[in-house]
Structure 1
Amino acid sequence: MSSSDGHRSVVRGCRCSAGRSCQDPGRHPGDPAYDRLVFEFDGGLPGYELRYVPEVRSPGRGAPIDLRGAAFVEVRFRPATTHDSSGVSTLRTARDGGGMPALCDYQFAGGFEGYVRYGLGLEGTVPYRVTELAHPSRIAVDIAA
């Protein structure tokens, strides 16, 4: 989990792609395939937490998020926001997507009191890894396919 210096990071959006981990520097050909979901931020990286949950719920109201898949991961960023000081959305990408081998679905679940939450619907309970990236500030989630 990363930490923040007290200001809110601004979530700009996320995008997904399929690949083979051998495309990553330092990995070896023949490593398993993965699906990658990348979250982009302005203002540096926020703190983050990913965990398997029975269902993903929206922050604040607690309403369940309808996700396709057999297993669900909740992604939380804090402190973070998805709107500017005028209340205008900062998201520049679709709020949902997926349709990949391991990543069936993802959705923006909401933001509340400095938390931003996404839900991931996966094909099953599989390993994932989180990588912090810079220029621009991003968090990449690689899901074993």
Structure 2
Amino acid sequence: MNPRRISARLLLLLGALAAFACAKPEPPPPVPTVDTRGLVTSIRPGSTPGSGAVRVEGAPRPDVRYDKADVAVLASTRIVARTGLGDRPAVFADLELGDRVQVVFQGPVSKSRPVRAVAHQVVILEKVRGFAPEPPPQPIPNPVPEAATTDLAPAAAPPPAPPKPPRKVEQAIVLRDVRTGDQQVFDRVVFEFEGPKLPRYEVELVKQPAACASGAAVKVAGRAFLQVRLTPARAHNDAGAPTVATLQRTVRLPVIREIRETCDYEGVVIWVVGLAARKSHRVLELEEPARLVIDVER
């Protein structure tokens, strides 16, 4: 073999090896550091405060894993707004359509299109309407030197509250008489009072008469019971003696069987009218003297 050819081949081989050794290796592709980055194109508030879902859509980039994603934002998701003065806390309600955000996921990622995942952190990079200005710092008032406080006059005590007007106590109206009468088509009960006014009254059918103080059942003749409640009223004088001659009376009328007082206590007077059967009734107010009249249909 020709020695010159061997030398030429060796020189070519050595040159190729030297060129390969001097060549710089290509840098590896960048590792994505953000799961998705782009504009907020939809917002759905969640059922719990501070939660919801957003769709983020952006252009493919080597440092971003997904260009489009449906992102669930939990109440525990960290949300910050990146302003010119640094990051500041934000909430889900701060997100608006058109905001530019970047998101880091937590947990598994659904391989749908777009992908679905839960956000660990949401950073608001740009607001569609700009960031709200930071509130100006509040000035800190200078404390008054302790020595100077001794020269200050004590603060004046607030004026006393005006006394409350005495509560007006309603005067109980005295019940003078209770009587019954035959009115041809009605059985009548009359309650007569002292003075020109009637007390307030309630007339209603009840299932079982009862004493007002103890609540114990009171036996009254009849199959239906009409209760008459009077207030403010009393059926006794200042000495405690009854102002009505008879507090219980058996009645021999077609419908009314008995009338009985069941209460005269703390401004409340109650009488019960025992009826042979459940009947309709009407109530009348009469004057001179003041009377409450109840007519029970036969």
TM-score range, shorter chain: 0.7 to 0.9
Q: What do residues 30-67 of structure 1 show as CA deviations (whole Å, max 9, x unaligned)?
A: xxx11000011013211000111111111111121211
- Structure 2 gaps of 5+ residues are 1-168
Q: Which amino acid aligns with 1:38?
A: V
8 A contact 1:13–1:94 mirrored in 2? no
Residue of structure 2 aligned with 1:17, choices 181, 206, 216 = 181
Asked if residue 108 in structure 1 is aligned to residue 261 in structure 2, the reply is yes
Residue of structure 2 aligned with 1:57, choices 197, 206, 210 = 210
Task: Name the residue aligned to 1:125.
Answer: 278
TM-score (norm 2): 0.42
Task: Name the residue aligned to 1:38.
Answer: 190
Give the CA deviation at 1:95.
3.2
Moved over 6 A (4+): none
Q: What do residues 89-142 of structure 1 show as CA deviations (whole Å, max 9, x unaligned)?
A: 211345323221111111111211110011111111111001011111110100
Task: Name the residue aligned to 2:227.
Answer: 74
Q: What do residues 74-98 of structure 1 show as CA deviations (whole Å, max 9, x unaligned)?
A: 1100000011122222113453232
**Greater strand share, structure number:** 1
8 A contact 1:13–1:95 mirrored in 2? no
**Greater helix share, structure number:** 2
Give the CA deviation at 1:72.
0.8
Percent identity for Structure 1 against Structure 2: 32
Q: Which amino acid aligns with 1:68?
A: A
Whichever of the two has the greater Rg, that structure is 2
- Structure 1 gaps of 5+ residues are 21-32
- Structure with greater contact order relative to length (CA < 8 Å, sep ≥ 6): 1
- CA distance in structure 1 between the aligned counterparts of 2:225 and 2:242, rounded to whole angstroms: 25
TM-score (norm 1): 0.83
